[in-house]
Amino acid sequence: MTVAAAPTPLSVLSEEEELFRQTVREFAETEVGPYVHEMDEASQFRPELIAKFFELGLMGIEIPEQYGGAGGSIFLAMLAIEELARVDASAAIYVDVHNTLFNNALLRWGNDEQKARYFPRLTTELLGAFALSEPASGSDAFALECRATQQGDDWLLTGRKFWITSGAEAGLFIVFANIDQAKGYKGITAFLVEREFPGFAIGKREKKLGIRASSTVELILENCRVPAANVLGPVGQGYKISIETLNEGRIGIGAQMIGIAQGALDAATRYVKERKQFGKVLADFQGVQFQVAQMATDLEAARLMVYNAARLKDAGLPFSREAAMAKLFSSVTANRIAGQALELFGGYGYSREYPVEKFYRDAKIGVIYEGTSNMQLQTIAKMHLK
């Protein structure tokens, strides 16, 4: 009788993966950590840190080496996002959107000329952003009013985009517009829009509850002229591009959430070992011990779901359902852990002088962006019941 080898636990990393994790963790703690409070208070991310993301190779993890990237896996990208979010969710978002949304879409749908033109810059200095949402288009992502009209060899884009993450700093955008409203979602087309194109402008910057240092802006397009060479993928296939790109993006949100949860749990663990009440440190009370144990257990479950979705994607296996599950569970878990951590700090947790209130604020976006929890449930139900 042949006994099958025991499977490697998802949370066990290879030597290469562990080295990468430790490198990003050290960078996050030493280079980002000192500025987290300052950036949150100012609602402004330090531009030199974005430059360091590029220097460290974090902005081209999945891009092939021929274009200047690392030729790595989405799993490595998730480790980077998780470790950055453990220190600052805003830092993680810049790396996440650039890798899982922008680079991913261009890698899958761009032609050879587009990849050769943009990827060398996207790995060294050019930040990308993903522009799908509009004022009247949130969960109903395909109710787009932004229109595109062909004029000779160019397309003219007119409309507004809302909630565009990294938009204040990005130099290149994937913009979705409809070439024929009568066709509904079948008219949606993706365009590569450079910040300098005529008719393109950055609108107001949102003032947010959490992830305050990360920019979230409005885009204004008024007959923005885009060369036909900058159509991404087939005309009329924008809906497919956006759906498939967001599937990977959800794993990235999951990585953000487990990073936030880990940061909150780390802070709470340190605090309960130091804070004394009734002559004992809080960690000596069984009630506190049980709360911390439950937080650690929930976090491990969320991490395994995120890692599983990433491993499936890297293996070329179906992962859409698992990505939705990971995003759903990790975001709810991060909110619960951050809230519990805040309560363990007592009154200090409510003060901005301590880190947990920021983790609490940052976690909330996880149940909203890149598909609300209800939209994830809808996706999971459709796939489970088909």
320 and 341 in a single domain? The answer is yes
CATH value at residue 121: 1.10.540.10
Give catalytic status of residue 222 as yes or no.
no
In a domain, 3, yes or no: no
Domain boundary among 126, 142, 171: 126
19, 80, 128, 370 from 329: Cα distances, Å: 27, 20, 28, 14
Whole-prediction pTM:
0.95
Range of the domain at 150: 129-236
19 and 120 in a single domain? The answer is yes
In a domain, 2, yes or no: no
Q: Which of 83, 248, 322, 370 is the catalytic position?
A: 370
83 and 138 in a single domain? The answer is no
Q: State the total domains in the chain.
A: 3
CA angle 355, 361, 364 (to 5 degrees): 140
Domain boundary among 193, 208, 236: 236
182 and 119 in a single domain? The answer is no
- Compute the distance between CA of residue 101 and CA of residue 123 in angstroms, rounded to an integer: 14
The tokens of 221 are what?
């397009």
Report the candidate in 53, 227, 245 with the shortest Cα–Cα distance to residue 130.
245
Q: What is the pLDDT along the chain (386 residues), one digit of tens a residue?
A: 554 555 566 778 999 999 999 999 999 999 999 999 999 999 999 999 999 999 999 999 999 999 999 999 999 999 999 999 999 999 999 999 999 999 999 999 999 999 999 999 999 999 999 999 998 887 776 789 999 999 999 999 999 999 999 999 999 999 999 999 999 999 999 999 999 999 999 999 999 999 999 999 999 999 999 999 999 999 999 999 999 999 999 999 999 999 999 999 999 999 999 999 999 999 999 999 999 999 999 999 999 999 999 999 999 999 999 999 999 999 999 999 999 999 999 999 999 999 999 999 999 999 999 999 999 999 999 999 98
